[in-house]
Structure 1
Amino acid sequence: MQYSLSWAASRPEEAIEALAPVYRNVDIRTDDEHRFGVSTLESGDPTVTLSSFDWTADGRGRSEANSFFTVGDVYAGSVTVTAGRETLDSSRLMLIPPRRLDASWTGSHSARTVRLERATIDAYARNHFGVSATGVRFTETRAISPVHEALWRAVERHAREEVAAHPDLLHNDLIWDETARHLVATLLTVFPNSTLEVAAPRDGAAALPASVRRAIAYMEEHVAEPVTIADIAAAARLSPRGIQDAFARIVGHSPMRHLRLLRLEAARNDLLLADPTNGHTVADIARRWGFPHVPRFAEAYRAQFGENPRVTLQR
């Protein structure tokens, strides 16, 4: 369901309350409470959301990891942004991953953001490119080139000014769905990611049959739980032999291997978000995602991602 809202806050506590439905454990502080203020305009739907922010006075904020990627464009003033342990270049268009976020700013600044849920990005890639066994992996937080930055800004401006600014267009499901898809497609074009090496289907047919899509959706939903081939087959509405044959023919590997790849990707995401100084270990994360034998997990992880899981944890 599409929506549009605006709000303003003159105290950090008010800003925290307004942002709490979106950001986990958000905290905002300032040493200049008399000048502090923030106003925002937000529109879209829960999966793809356009926002604009205007902040006054010095401040700092943080939030826990979330389920969405954010494209941030600071067009007035400056902000220091750290995602996990990576400091982003906020002087350019930046992709903020779903990690712990810390930000600080001196003086007033203004920014435009687009939030895109990870599941929406993965679903688009899966339907357009075919199977994406481990989800979309972004490898850089900067756009490929200035031309790509200009492309993103043009598409975002169209979405913001030509669609979201007009209630009759924003609430037209057909128009908004295409606008949201355009933003996701542009995201996958502008920032380096794993889909750039995947060719789209050439025959114009649906990327995946419904049975395989159902099986993958079931695995993604239950990735942290014990799952059998019978469970996957039931979700796909096929026999165990039928779903095995479908995956071998269409995906190129077995359903259980697909589940294993999903779990490896989930473990990688946790390793990137974890803080070893707080006692997080490779073994704990491996077991969380169904890998009780840590040396075998490390071997599979190196084969899939080209590095030792301990290296990922230390980033």
Structure 2
Amino acid sequence: MLKRHFYALDVEVLRPAPGWAARFAVGGTDTVTLGDLEFGVDVRIRAGELGAYHVNLPLTGAMHWHQGRDEPQQALAGKTAAVYQPVGDTVVDQWDGDCRLLAVKIGRAELETQLEAMLDRPVRGPIDLGPMLDVSSGPGASWARLVRLVTGDAVHPDGLTAHPVIGARMREALVTGLLLATDHRHRGSLDRHTPALAAPGAIRRVVEAMRAQPGRPFTVADLAGIAGVGARALQQSFARYVGMPPMTYLRQLRLALVHDGLRAADPGETTVAQVAYRYGFTHLGRFAAAYRERYAISPSETLRK
């Protein structure tokens, strides 16, 4: 399982224990893979060059590791997480038997493209993320909570992260959050960056794309790509020219289309869920609340009228 979803590993059991059993649960996609992993016995692992960015977040116990010629490091539950680069031979010198961890593998192109979108300019990789992430407080702790939430859903067979809309947004949040939580040479630029606004024509293209495919699972990154700007520039440009963030505009557009669709539908042949799903709403409870807030009536009442 680990070879199929993560890397080809050379695993050595350091101190065999009677009755020990490993436990692995894995989910996600080819670009962002998530795992809840536990060996149940002390092991040493050689992984070679990873070819991807990777974070190990211990939930219990500790692990000792090094990459390339760097000094050995320790990742400790509740304190620190291990951050690996795409290049450099990777060795886990000891993964303690009581160490259960969450593993986050992010494709190199996925992370570097996201950083380019955030900076509104090309970057030359690899990014050289800091090898240790403080998860006891601040942005690191916030990112660790997000990892627990998304991984818990991703490894579940019925998790919402498998849905193209929700999953894409969660994965984007994980990648963006890591770039804002870890140390790297572009961190200061991210904190100081004020992007140039997109031209009105670019915003018009985004609006036209939303109207042409209102049910498409757009993310902010998708819309920024249509506009030809970064995500932050898109957000600020939409606020200036449209008066609201792009995802708020998309939600309002979808609500209006559902409203018109329900009014025109035959209640004997159509359900609220069918119309809502058609226009990109995947969580019916949240959809119904937003619909009632806007129209002061429930979707089902609109359908019956």
**Aligned-pair CA distance for 1:126:** 1.6
**Aligned-pair CA distance for 1:200:** 5.0
**Secondary structure in structure 2 of the residue aligned to 1:159:** helix
Partner residue in 2 for 1:19: 2
Aligned partner letter, 2:178 = L
Change (3 A) 1:170 1:21: same
Aligned equivalent of 1:62, options 12, 28, 46: 46
**Secondary structure in structure 2 of the residue aligned to 1:193:** coil
Aligned partner letter, 1:97 = Q
- Is 2:79 the partner of 1:95? no
**Aligned-pair CA distance for 1:33:** 6.3
For residues 97 and 85 of structure 1, the distance between their equivalents in structure 2, rounded to whole angstroms, comes to: 13
Calculate the TM-score normalised by the size of structure 2: 0.56
Aligned-pair identity in percent equals: 17
**Secondary structure in structure 2 of the residue aligned to 1:114:** strand
Partner residue in 1 for 2:261: none
For residues 183 and 170 of structure 1, the distance between their equivalents in structure 2, rounded to whole angstroms, comes to: 12
**Secondary structure in structure 2 of the residue aligned to 1:93:** strand
**Aligned-pair CA distance for 1:203:** 1.3
Change (3 A) 1:201 1:124: same
Q: Which runs of 5+ in 2 are unaligned?
A: 203-305
- Is 2:42 the partner of 1:51? no
Q: What do residues 32-64 of structure 1 show as CA deviations (whole Å, max 9, x unaligned)?
A: 164443111111101101101112122211111
Q: Which runs of 5+ in 1 are unaligned?
A: 1-17, 207-315
- Is 2:197 the partner of 1:203? yes
**Secondary structure in structure 1 of the residue aligned to 2:146:** helix
Aligned equivalent of 1:105, options 84, 95, 120: 95
**Aligned-pair CA distance for 1:130:** 1.7
**Aligned-pair CA distance for 1:162:** 5.2
Aligned equivalent of 1:172, options 163, 169, 176: 163
1:70–1:95 CA contact under 8 A, matched in 2: yes
Aligned partner letter, 1:143 = L
1:132-211 alignment runs, 5 A limit: 132-135=122-125, 137-143=127-133, 146-161=137-152, 165=156, 167=158, 169-198=160-189, 199=193, 201-204=195-198
**Aligned-pair CA distance for 1:161:** 3.6
For residues 111 and 82 of structure 2, the distance between their equivalents in structure 1, rounded to whole angstroms, comes to: 17
Q: What do residues 52-102 of structure 1 show as CA deviations (whole Å, max 9, x unaligned)?
A: 111212221111102111111112122211122222231212212223221
Aligned partner letter, 1:101 = T
1:144–1:192 CA contact under 8 A, matched in 2: no
1:51–1:113 CA contact under 8 A, matched in 2: yes
CA RMSD of aligned residues (A): 2.7
- Larger Cα Rg: Structure 1 or Structure 2? 2
Change (3 A) 1:162 1:57: closer
Aligned partner letter, 2:195 = P
Change (3 A) 1:157 1:38: same
Change (3 A) 1:144 1:157: closer
